[in-house]
Structure 1
């Protein structure tokens, strides 16, 4: 994610005396195949690409073309599109990691990074939106039943994407290509805007992690307390699923943001530490794109009971539950129709 130039955190150089465009005196050769960590990350990233591309593509096909449009399918379709686009661009990252040089030109350097950050933010915002929607449906079932509409959900999704576009613009502005020690690199050029690096990183951390994680944690905590307060709730599955959602978001995104923040003061930390940290953090962040359909779709209620049906039938049933999971725990104590779309 953060620039996909893991081995060279000095991309954020402010040395105005540097001569980045001098002709190289030797030809750079990739050493990735001789590095166990690099090979491992290549394999993991390739696996994320295959699983995420296929999994999210299947969700898009089912929720977008095989099912009636509902609020839930609107959330899932938008989330799947975001993760699908992210995974579709991962081969560029794999090629860059393997060759340790950028061969796709100036335009794709800017476009590639911008698209990745666009989908990073849109995916995270949609996860937060889904959490708020579920919380409102549980705490205010009457209001949710009367006001949750596909049109309003579509407007919210559009606003989330617009905000994501705004936050991804710095990648297009500061991304650059240069020849460096015998290789072409795609990097962030903050030489003329020394404070921009700090502003961009901090804004990404706050908008892309702190606020969404707070919203997700609060919403699912409220749902858990609501369900635990209901004496008719006997199954522990909702609590396990929601705990998994929070833990997955935290584990996938925290390491990435930690090392990006450490990079702001890279003089205090070893080159190897930052390099490895950025590689591992980026890989974990990418893994979130194929874990989303698993957690938000495939873990739908009664999934195990549908094992005899086809894969497409399973997904269609899971996506179309439209709130039956949480309502099952609340229906005996609520006078409201349990079809308030509180799917967990």
Structure 2
């Protein structure tokens, strides 16, 4: 009984903390979405997190009521969509921050909210395309197969889908995020840009990166373990359930970073617009 009780407690904590936090971010970022590109990123990410966390009760229901196949398919599809969209958006946010450091004036003139909105629409479309069939394939693997051939076909398709989601939704985005983050670290250490008056943005990015990917790493690990069929099913079921709950906590932590990063982005863009104001600011890189 310890496992269900702990699972219920974690779900309740994630739901009650994630919904109001993301609602607040939706309101704050929504008021600025027409003014800055960063507000578009944060608002879009908050929308995805809000949708994801709202469907947490459906995931809870699908785990304890095994007859609801439609609930398992829908919750798995939403989880996959959130994973892909968050990874794509995090890449865009990291690149945007890197451009602010490398070419601040160019970023102010060209990284407009309209361009950011178009990119968000493209990321939504890509995420839907990658995740649309994932829930159905996962359900077909866990359901009784009518024939051995159909089961083997579905199993191969699920393995391919899990491999794709690991590469496209985790490994490749991690590499693409670390490149601009490394540039920002180097720029901060060498003081290439006088607009970097504080390491606050860098510290937030360095905190957001491991937080996001550590929340999703167990999910991918247990996805591979489940299709390997070399471990006890009971242990895998408990581990995959906790890994799934952990992904919801990423949606609870993200709003805190949204608000902090957005405030710093506003200051950084204002300095890019008025470079003369940086003369009156002392360097704070020695924190």
**TM-score normalised over the length of structure 2:** 0.82
Shift of 1:52: 1.2
Q: 1:332 to 1:226 in 2, by over 3 A?
A: farther
Matches within 5 A, 1:66-145: 68-97=34-63, 100-102=64-66, 105-145=68-108
Task: Check if 1:222 corresponds to 2:188.
Answer: no
Which one of 229, 233, 239 corresponds to residue 271 of structure 1? 233
Match of 2:244 in 1: 282
Matches within 5 A, 1:159-308: 159-174=122-137, 176=139, 192-230=153-191, 235-267=198-230, 269-297=231-259, 299-300=260-261
Once the two structures are superposed, residues 219-240 of structure 1 have per-residue CA deviations (whole angstroms, 9 ceiling, x without a partner) of 2121121112118667553443
Number of aligned pairs? 272
Match of 1:324 in 2: 267
Shift of 1:130: 0.8
The question of whether the paired residues in 2 share the 8 Å contact of 1:46 and 1:94 is answered with no
Going by fraction, where is helix more abundant, 1 or 2?
2
Q: 1:45 to 1:251 in 2, by over 3 A?
A: same
Higher-Rg structure is: 1
Query: How far apart in 2 are the matches of 1:46 and 1:216?
Result: 31
**RMSD of the TM alignment (CA)?**
3.3
Match of 1:152 in 2: 115
Query: How far apart in 1 are the matches of 2:125 and 2:266?
Result: 28
Judge which range, 85-94 or 68-77, deviates more.
68-77
Show structure 2 runs of 5+ residues with no match. 145-149, 282-287
The question of whether the paired residues in 2 share the 8 Å contact of 1:230 and 1:333 is answered with no
Once the two structures are superposed, residues 282-322 of structure 1 have per-residue CA deviations (whole angstroms, 9 ceiling, x without a partner) of 1221111111111222x34xxxxxxxxxxxxxxxxxx4654
Judge which range, 152-161 or 240-249, deviates more.
240-249
The question of whether the paired residues in 2 share the 8 Å contact of 1:224 and 1:239 is answered with yes
Q: 1:334 to 1:167 in 2, by over 3 A?
A: farther
